Structure 1
Amino acid sequence: MMEVLMQQPAEAPEIRVESDDADGLHPMEIEEEVEPYEEISRALVDGLNPVDSVVLTADRGYLLWINPRGSIEVKFRYGRSGENFNCFIDPQHQGVTIYELCGTYRKEMVVDGRQPLSKNTNPHHVKPTGVRRRENNFEFRSRNSEVRLVLETVRDSPPQQAFKFNYVLTL
């Protein structure tokens, strides 16, 4: 399956999402719920303004941020269940710092975009074991049925073409 991201003017960023059961790409409003309800498993994001947001609701998928700059908020929700869940993410590249939003104004750094993931000492980091493969190596527990992360590009690093992470949500 080929993924295509439509080029949009800088003043009107648009996020296109692709769902496993969909025929193609569907536009998703920024900072709004998707109506009617559909599971969103993959998001392709190009650039974005500093306060844009993506909501992912499928039990597994990925986010691909093309030409990352500034920051975006990523919200995970487990469908319509309203239950608390575990969220596992697997960042694929360096150059983006990942924070967990704790409450309204406090954010906790989880991944320093300047360091290799293997050197991460954050409590969210799940150490690989002999049985566990090296994927989904950061674990979060939802609060009020939601996990909220902020992705910020590292200012002093060379610009990169893309940032991607895979994710899995489990009850």
Structure 2
Amino acid sequence: MRIGYARVSTCEQSLDLQIDALERAGCDTIFEDPGVSGVAPERPGLTKALRTLKEGDTLVVWRLDRMARSMHDLLDTVDTLHARKIGFQSLCEHIDIDSAFGELILHVLSSVVHFERRLIVERTRAGMEAARSRGATFGRRPALDGETFREALYLKAQGMTIPAIAADIGVGRSTLYRYMG
């Protein structure tokens, strides 16, 4: 049996391209993870696919990066499949681990995927550092500015309760408790 697995990182993306390719590749069943990041610890579709696979079956993915984002994760999964006598095929990279050459190519490409991921992280960090040096700030905007916080302190000093103050200034109680801490 050929079992397909398709994944997209956000709900706005479509699985159609992957599903069409997996159907053309002769997959009997296709498991999906719509809107699930490759680095997410929980991928229900992949978990179901791996549980469904039996000796002699083949897991088919559209591209390697749909299966895993880290080289370690990809190779662990493929090694586990191999130990269970289950094949693995990636359509775009034309990889089939049933041959020594296919296994070699998988290891080389997984190293490239890992390298690419590391480059993205490095470029992102460098870009953020450059932006910080120009005065940019990142992260959430503070829930309370200085003036609003002073107002909250004044209301507290007047005997108002935290829940009443939070409602009055328009923030959550837990946020105000954290600020008043």
TM-score (norm 2): 0.26
Which structure is higher in helix share?
Answer: 2
Which structure is higher in strand share?
Answer: 1
**Greater relative contact order (CA < 8 Å, ≥ 6 in sequence):** 1
Q: Which has the larger radius of gyration?
A: 2
TM-score (norm 1): 0.27
